[in-house]
Amino acid sequence: MAPLVEVKLPDNKSLDDGFPADHTAWNLGRMLIVQQRTPAYSYMRSAAKLRSSSIDHWYIALPRTGRSWTEV
């Protein structure tokens, strides 16, 4: 198992602040549904990560608070 993305904390946060997260996943056979509650973070799936893993996936976000955006 290996990470699919590179995760980054906001510029005003340090690793010493911690990262309290709640993550629950339901395996529905060929589909995984995830519910998570986290503080702010960003992530990127770099070209190196794409080359290292053949996993392809869809990511659908339904934010209840906060915001989400994608850059390609």
The 10s digit of each residue's pLDDT in 43-71 is 888 888 888 877 777 778 888 888 777 66
Q: What is the mean pLDDT of residues 8-35?
A: 89
Neighbours of 53 (CB within 10 A): 13
pLDDT for 59 equals 76
Neighbours of 47 (CB within 10 A): 7
DSSP E strands: which ranges in 4-49? 6-8, 22-27, 32-37, 42-44
Q: What is the mean pLDDT of residues 8-26?
A: 88
Q: What is the mean pLDDT of residues 14-40?
A: 88
